[in-house]
Chains A and B, each alone.
Chain A
């Protein structure tokens, strides 16, 4: 065992990379849940994003096009969920599960000929001056554009929900769809827009996995990242800033356990690889144990079917 082999600068820098896919997916799901819809299909949308992003990037040679199409792909898949739950009034839990099962199968089908290929590289930005600062520079200022995009998105989602009129309407729909409907807001349309945003974010997160983090395509490569994103939304008590904390905490654990594996710590590899899931469960328990806090923060209409009777 050689713990000195773990370089703290590299550790913190790769923490940000590891956290980005989950941060993106969790932010999308946060907006969806704020509108009162529970979409359990995050895992399916992420993997569809991963495969479309990878295929488009390989075929076009441009990672940027890959990311754009991954967002489109994730949003397209989420529209199946939107039509089923919003127009055909199906059960959201069951439909979300169907989305995940379908996404996992369909992505494997799409990605058949792309196993073992390398994706075009995503360049790191290397921001002048700032990246030269010792320690802080390599940790914070030498990442690719998507890392900074995800951070900007945190701020944007936070500001949107807190300060804009549209954000207020979205929250109203999530708290009481009947009241929002009575006030004349188009509940179904607003929710579909939120679901599409969630799908696009999950797609981006998936593409970040297949284009930057791994960067390869393998079947089932999201490995529960979508479910962890769902857990992080609960952990964050439906607040954008805390989603950032949750995702980076999780990224830290994921990177640390990989580093410990590499350093040959005397803990079985399997225990280290299951640790992110165990810690997610533990965090969920701690957050949920305080019943009043969850009850106060969860959108009141979350998961309920909206059917305008008149």
Chain B
């Protein structure tokens, strides 16, 4: 008989090994899925995980895209991971991302066509505050009225999407856009343009912010009392309360920080790669970041690696869509599958598998 025995503490080896195993398992299961769709599985997997980086024909285009796509994913996932560690579930990062972009872009466009250098930092700060404020709604409802933050933050995504549709058709619509929905192009306007910092790398200010966030989160978790409190609150809420951790302050801090980072990711995206606010501005980074956070084991360095891997699947997905006609949705299913394998593998981290009969206690 197989039975599970709780480990006194999570195994370090398995903590590091499960993401790798999960990726391998996903490649196999994904290959089967592609084979069922009538595509060559080996070619598809190669196209997703290998060709964007090493193929002569595609790499020059794809490599910079890696950082462009990983930037927002890492930025959002870092924020989410702090809350997840403390058992505070912000799953509405997509909404905070949208609102951050809308607020920042709204601030910048109010000054059009000024060329002041102050507009860019102002826009970034307002974008961050926008995401923060949107995340404060579930935080305050949770602390004041004990409302479930999972449901509220998620429902607010749909509200944010409606706001996005409203402003791109109304308030922020480009007056010179011939009636098309969407704002002025922020990338083509000198004062707000979030350009590539080093040509050919895809590195823009959002990616810089993501790296800074990784370092910040690492220091916070390992060297600062707040990080310690977050870890204690997640592992043993009772112990945290006895040691004087105020759960409400932790909720406000974690939700606020993850909202601010999501807002930051939104405004950098709007001013850079996306270029404008439009109805289809959000592409699900806020949800994929949840997978990134888990795949990175809620650890800053892990998230950095996981973000790069997830970005790779995005690019590889586009590539295989173009080359093999694999539907775009396949990649989303692929990412969900990865999370399943990861969660399944976690049993090995927390439990020891024992074979044979139960011994009498």
Contact = CB atoms under 8 A, between A and B. Distances in A.
B156 A90 contact: no
Nearest to A268: B166
Contacts of B165: 270
Given A285-B145, A288-B147, A88 B343 contact: yes
B159 interface: yes
B166 A288 contact: no
Nearest to B326: A109
Contact of A231 (B151, B332, B346, B361): B151
Interface in A250-301: 268, 270-271, 273-274, 277-278, 280-281, 284-285, 288-289, 291, 294
A186 interface: no
Contacts of A278: 159
A103 B361 CA distance: 43
Contacts of A90: 343-344, 346-347
Interface in B99-136: none
Interface of B: 4, 6, 37, 89, 91, 141, 145-148, 150-152, 154-159, 162-163, 165-166, 170, 287, 290-291, 294, 327-337, 339-340, 343-344, 346-347, 350-351, 358, 361
Contacts, number: 141
Contact of B339 (A89, A102, A271, A310): A102
A78 interface: no
A7 to B, nearest CB: 26
A108 B155 contact: no
Given A84-B344, A109-B329, A98 B158 contact: no
A101 B336 contact: yes
B152 A273 contact: no
Contact of B336 (A88, A98, A280): A98
Given A98-B343, A106-B333, A270 B162 contact: yes
Contact of A109 (B151, B152, B330, B361): B330
Contacts of B351: 89
A105 B344 contact: no
A230 interface: yes
Interface stretch (A18-26, A166-174, A208-216, A219-227): A219-227
Given A98-B343, A105-B332, A112-B329, A273 B162 contact: yes
A223 B151 contact: no
A234 B151 contact: yes
B358 A91 contact: no
Q: Looking at B156, B158, B335, which has the most chain A CB atoms within 10 Å of its CB?
A: B158
Contact of B347 (A89, A112, A270, A291): A89
Interface string A72-90: 0000000010011000111
Contacts of A291: 146
Given A105-B335, A268-B166, A284-B147, A94 B343 contact: yes
Interface string A179-199: 000000000000000000000
A234 B148 contact: yes
B340 A281 contact: no
A109 B320 CA distance: 14
A89 B89 CA distance: 19
Contacts of B336: 98-99, 101-106
Contacts of A104: 332, 336
Nearest to B333: A105
Pairs A-B, 7 closest by C-beta atoms:
A102-B336, A105-B332, A108-B329, A105-B333, A270-B166, A98-B339, A274-B162
A101 B351 CA distance: 26
A161 interface: no
A88 B344 contact: yes
Interface of A: 40, 80, 83-84, 88-91, 93-95, 97-99, 101-109, 112, 219, 223-224, 227-228, 230-231, 234, 268, 270-271, 273-274, 277-278, 280-281, 284-285, 288-289, 291, 294, 307, 309-310
A35 to B, nearest CB: 19
Contacts of B152: 281, 284
Nearest to B159: A274
B138 to A, nearest CB: 9
Given A94-B343, A274-B163, A109 B6 contact: no
A227 B347 contact: no
A90 B155 CA distance: 25
B343 A95 contact: yes
Contacts of A88: 343-344, 346-347
Given A271-B162, A277-B156, 15 more contacts: A93-B150, A95-B340, A101-B287, A105-B329, A105-B333, A109-B332, A109-B333, A223-B158, A224-B157, A224-B158, A227-B155, A277-B155, A278-B159, A281-B152, A310-B361
Contacts of B159: 274, 277-278
A291 B147 CA distance: 9
Contacts of B141: 281, 284-285
13 contacts: A88-B346, A89-B351, A97-B339, A99-B336, A102-B340, A109-B37, A112-B327, A224-B157, A274-B162, A281-B141, A281-B151, A281-B156, A289-B147
Contacts of B4: 89, 307
A291 B142 CA distance: 11
A205 to B, nearest CB: 17
Contacts of A224: 154-155, 157-158
Contacts of A285: 141, 145, 147
B290 A288 contact: no
A271 B170 CA distance: 13
